[in-house]
Amino acid sequence: MGKVLKLVNNHGVPFNVRLVEKGEKYGLDWCLTHDKDDPLVEFYDASQDKDKFTEYGQFVTRYYLKTILDRDPQSNAGLMLDGGSPAWVMSGENMREIYELFG
Quickly state the pLDDT bin for 15 (edges 50, 70, 90). very high
Percent of the chain with pLDDT over 70: 97
Which residues neighbour 67 within 8 Å (Cβ) at sequence distance 6 or greater?
none
Extents of the domains making up the chain: 4-102
Confidence (pLDDT) at 61: 97
